[in-house]
Amino acid sequence: MRILTMCLLMIAAPLAAQDQPQRESMTPSTSSGSGRTADLPAPPRAEQRPHSFEHHGIRVDDPWHWLKDPSYPNVDDEDVLAYLRAENAYFEAAMAPHQPLIDTLFHEMRGRIQEDDSSVPVREGNWLYWWAFQPGAQYRTWYRRPVAGGESQVIFDEPAEAAEKQYFQLGALEVSPDGRFAAIMVDDDGSERYQLRIRDLESGRDVETVTDVGIGAPVWTADSRGVLFTEVNENWRSYRARFHRLGEPVENDRTVYEETENVAFTVSVGHSQDRRYILINSGENVSNEIRLVPADDPDAEPLLVARRRPNIQYSVDASHGRLWILTNDNHVNFRLAEASPEAPGEWREVIAGSDSVYLRGIAAFRDHLVVTERVDGLDQIRLRGYDGSERRIPFQEASYTVSLGSNPEYAPDAYRLNYASMVTPPTVYDYHPAEDRLETRKVQQIPSGYDPARYVTERITVPTRDGRQLPVSIVYRKGFERNGQGRLFLYAYGAYGFAFPPGFSTNRLSLLDRGYAFAIAHIRGGDDLGYQWYLDGKLDRRTNTFSDFVDAARGLIERNYTRAGNIAIQGGSAGGELMGAVVNSDPDLWGAVVADVPFVDVLNTMLDESLPLTPGEWNEWGNPITDRAAFEYIRSYSPYDNVRPQAYPPMLITGGLNDPRVTYWEPAKWAARLRATKTDDNLLLLKTNMGAGHGGQSGRWTRLREVAEAYAFILTQMGAEEAR
């Protein structure tokens, strides 16, 4: 049984360094607006310490460079910690008057969550597995029971494991084929360095600790006596796959594959749907190669499917003695091919690439190849029989998101699907192919009540400045007037080919019920309209992502959904970079900005190849070390380098001290430069989670309170009449 909790994340004139420390406070404002700082103590001011570097003959001054602790990932510099704590204290002081609103929002959001929620059981082998929350619990408890009937068994108790810990994240829970053992991955500080433990499910006790620097989900061998797993090095790069035989000392663990050719490539492991092969993938965002290891012979030499090639990706599954390969080797939207395991590099086309159909994934079950794809930006599930027959599963809503759910069995009677729309709560279906029937297994319950008839969702297109048609998904409560005065919340991500889906959110109802419309801009950099849509928002076309977002806002203004200054925006990680770019370019459009763990110090990060993700990110952003054009282009938009003397909207910035993806100093340096440069007295807040990482705090209620804080910030900065 597999659980994975993470995804995916990742100018004009720099300020001159000043010789004297800058500790002066901002002149108090006499303005009474809710976005002002008149009633607060002076905000913290990070001193400016002279620092500069030169690259390609260009000098860059960085007076807040000192906020990067040289001993990172240990952060023990007292000046750095003092500044972060001062900013956190300022955040607390600024939000203290709004605590009643935060409490109201939190209780609203909590009231929409079923406290004793549970998942639909999934069969794997002779067992049914599921998770459940106990009322009031922050974390899940994991269960199983025999398919043939019998008592339920707790196999992992997250609340007990998380007790007295500031942070807790279960990264993977993999049960051995014979059902005896579980391989468990746990992170207790947000650093995403997971401890891999082996638990005997008969006794309930951990019998081995395999590694303290694991990542991803381990894979069991067919005999249930060993696991393949991946580890990160000191730079948090997943660089090798190891094999551990149960009962043997970890010192005897064997390296099955180690990536030594390309420092940008990372290593992961998985298995084919028929469980015949363990798959070892080595790659980065746009190129990879896969090796096969027989699951019943982990000591065999890994078999390379096809050698890595620049800008060529492929994935592999197996069934009926064939390999099924999804690749973009001759079409940008991918094609499906097959090969023999005896000649894995000789591919025969099964489904040709298409300009209109974007193939995104395959799962090779006994009866069907299940193909996940996107047509005109809309998710589709295609079933292809091994005789060549095909069908798509029909869905009725005009805009929705659907994906293949948890389907560990090779020969299921039905396929598990996850479905939602902006007005339809998450729904679990079982699709019965023999009857061409969708069976509803679960609809997310909203205890405080929800009537979808009260809400309207639309999908519109707006023109971009270079003539493209940009999709925007919108939801609002009936009665929202398109009179050009409405308040609107606009969200986007726009990187790594991740399409932000038009899904459902119970939290979002707190904005809709206060009169807001909520919109998702499906900007370039994501793959919403196909893989080319992603390519058109990266490298030397990166600024298309930012202009798309601004054009989406202006398009919504032109259609009278809102007006300039009445738009709240939010984005995280690479979406936080988006926030930084658009507040620099078009600050007058935004009424409030939330930037979560924002990737804003792009130039410095891409110049530092010692950082965990940098080498693997050069194909996304460009390599400014070797390429002057990339250096100048990144410098032209990097949010930190382009803060300028102008009025900025109210802003809330968050970071995580243990974040290995967007290091804490990026939001800290950005906030410091904004404080020293901006000409307004609008509220600027920096909150750093001192015991968490990229995903913020753990625990469902703790995370919910952070959402409530962000919404309270938006509501109070956008207008007191909605702050109730």
Residues annotated as catalytic are 573, 659, 694
Cβ within 8 Å of residue 568, ≥6 positions away: 487, 488, 489, 490, 516, 590, 591, 592, 593, 594, 714, 717, 718
Distances (CA, A) of 646 to 282, 586, 587, 588: 45, 10, 8, 10
Unique residue bearing structure tokens 């984005």: 571
Closest CA to 656 of 571, 596, 594, 592: 596
Greatest distance between any 2 Cα atoms in the chain: 77
Our measurement of the distance from residue 310's CA atom to the centroid of its chain's CA atoms, rounded to an integer in Å, reads 25
| Separation CA 61–CA 95 (nearest Å) | 33
| Separation CA 628–CA 649 (nearest Å) | 33
Distances (CA, A) of 369 to 146, 272, 313, 381: 28, 13, 19, 10
Residue 478, SS3 per DSSP: coil
Q: Could you give the angle at which helices 78-95 and 700-718 cross, rounded to 10 degrees? A: 60
Residue 79, SS3 per DSSP: helix
Phi, psi of 507 (to 5 degrees): -60, -40
CB 586 within 8 A of CB 654: no
**Helical H segments across 22-176, by residue range:** 78-95, 99-111, 158-162
How wide is the angle at C-alpha 644 spanned by C-alphas 543 and 677, nearest 5°?
140
Cβ within 8 Å of residue 301, ≥6 positions away: none
CB 145 within 8 A of CB 128: yes
| Separation CA 639–CA 651 (nearest Å) | 14
Unique residue bearing structure tokens 């679990």: 428
Phi, psi of 404 (to 5 degrees): -75, 130
Structure tokens at 111: 């009231």
